[in-house]
Amino acid sequence: MKGLFISGSGTDVGKTFVARHIIQILNEKYTVIARKPIESDCIKTDAGLIPKDAKVLNDACTNPESIDIVCPFRFEARVSGEKASAEQGAIVCLQDLVQAVQPTNDSDFVVIEGAGGFYSPIAQQALNSDFASALGLSVVIVVKDELGAINQALLSINAVKKHKLDVVMLVLNQIIPNDLANAEALSAYTDVKIVAFKKDQIKDFNAKVLALI
């Protein structure tokens, strides 16, 4: 399988936002497909549960697929995938997730978004780290660019490396503009490529992503 696993330092750090942008960039180089195999906090409609994040990722692809392929396990509760599935009596195991993210074609480049942080529960007795390890793909870590980001970033990098996975880059997502210079400070403590996402420097971000992936 060719692709990336998108993880984060926690929830609400902008994983889906960054993943969508990465997909849009990589559409220039690859036939990109999206996978968010399990999602909680879905929108309840007459047609069923709509996975917000999975839809955003799928819509970013040049050739979007059926949402049932992109995200087969959907839950309404705003809790971990493990807890949400258990509460509904629909046990999802690690192998279910691995099977769900397989590409339609061998030539596809798969962008897979996890759920929460690298050590967040995602399936029955399985963490995102277990899922990423089972796939063996390079990892993109997303961290919210704020006070404390250096600590969050280094903890996440060490966690991924502990599982012998490659960190292709760490994205500092500057949701709120600041002058903390976290990217420069962080580069003194790790050899992982640090890429800042800033709304006024999108061209620079795009160029770095294309060079690294």
Answer yes or no: is 116 a known binding residue.
Answer: yes
pLDDT tens track for 84-123: 777 777 889 999 999 999 998 999 999 999 998 999 999 9
Burial class (CB in 10 A: 0-12, 13-18, 19+), 154: middle
Answer yes or no: is 148 a known binding residue.
Answer: no
Would you say the pTM of this structure is higher than 0.75? Answer: yes
Q: What is the mean pLDDT of the chain?
A: 94
In angstroms, rounded to a whole number, what is the distance separating the alpha carbons of residues 91 and 100?
14
Positions marked active-site: 36
Q: What is the total count of domains within the chain?
A: 1
Buried b / exposed e along 45-74 (16+ C-beta atoms within 10 A): eeeebebebbbbbbebbeeeeebebbbbbb
Judge whether 2 and 32 are in contact, CB under 8 Å: no
DSSP-derived pairing of the beta strands 43-45 and 48-50: antiparallel
- Domain of residue 49, residue span: 2-212
pLDDT < 70 stretches in the chain: none
Tokens of 135: 């796939």
Answer yes or no: is 48 a known binding residue.
Answer: no
CATH classification of the domain holding 25: 3.40.50.300
In angstroms, rounded to a whole number, what is the distance separating the alpha carbons of residues 124 and 198?
37
Answer yes or no: is 14 a known binding residue.
Answer: yes
Output the CA–CA distances (angstroms, integers) from residue 12 to 66, 117, 150, in the order listed.
Answer: 26, 10, 17
pLDDT at 197: 95
